[in-house]
Amino acid sequence: MHTIKIGGVPEHFNLPWHLTIEEGAYLEKDIQLEWTDFPGGTGAMCEALRKKDIDIAIILTEGIIKDIIGGNPSKIVQTYIQSPLVWGIHVGHTSKYTSLNELQNTSAAISRYGSGSHLMAYINAQNTGWDTTNLQFEVVKNLDGAVEALTDGSADYFMWEHFTTKPLVDNKTFRRIADCPTPWPCFVIAVREEILNTKKDQLKDILQIINNTSLDFKQIPSIDKTLAHRYDQKLEDIREWLQITEWSQSIIDQKTLNEIQNQLLTLDIIDKTINSKDLIFEV
């Protein structure tokens, strides 16, 4: 039995992984696939890959690109979610801020440096015409930390996936004042190079199983109700999310990788670009 450790955010995007693990699909291929939730998001997963705490990460595209360029010995093997991620821009419900422009030169809560919430603050600032050198950050670790920070005023706004935070908007913990979609496919599958070199056959089996499931995921009977129940979401929100979300079974193209690198370089998030072929591995 080959034990392979995988991690991802505890969000609705990753239900295909949980369904395939629960039905024993990987065990049939002599693979014990062990899932770990990462509420801290991309930054926490990058660290876990580096420490060999996990072998595979379902991770934000821009975050893992930044970390591979920074020395993370991992490669992208496939796009997982082809569609953009819609980031909600949130303030505390009683915050004095009511529009996006008012947030210029205020403090953004982020899960950690190098996380999606950190990188997307730069994208949002660029989109809005702010000076990115004036961005201020408060590290809050996860969504619970953001609730605390926006409630007690130690941070002013927080960017997180629109539908994950929707219950907090509905219960008047947060107010969402804008959305900021990523300008590229949002989630990829990244694998440590050691695993690519030693367990390539098992990785092929894993990708085949998850791709067969994600290909027809939206057609699973009552999948909207299953998602709503498991992730504590309203049915109408899940149906809206399913309409705008597209899974992928293909490797990310080099043109997109170059565009992302150039965007990150422009924002001074990375200090160099590399050959896009060095970011990917074709299993």
b/e map of 223-232 (b: 16 or more CB within 10 Å)?
bbeebbeebe
Q: What is the pLDDT of residue 221?
A: 97
The two structure tokens encoding residue 144 = 């619970």
- Please, which pLDDT band fits residue 93 given cuts at 50, 70 and 90? very high
Tell me which residue of 158, 143, 159, 164 sits closest to 238, measured CA to CA. Answer: 164
Beta strands in the chain (DSSP E): 2-8, 31-37, 56-60, 74-81, 86-92, 107-110, 136-139, 157-161, 174-181, 187-192
**Percent of the chain with pLDDT strictly greater than 70:** 100
pLDDT digit string, tens, across residues 101-160: 999 999 999 999 988 999 999 999 999 999 999 999 999 999 999 999 999 999 999 999
Looking only at the bridges linking them, the beta strands covering 2-8 and 56-60 are parallel
Model confidence band, residue 237 (pLDDT cutoffs 50, 70, 90): very high
**Mean pLDDT rounded to a whole number for the chain:** 96
Q: Looking at residue 197, what is its pLDDT?
A: 96
d(CA 106, CA 108) in angstroms, rounded, equals 7
pTM summary value = 0.93
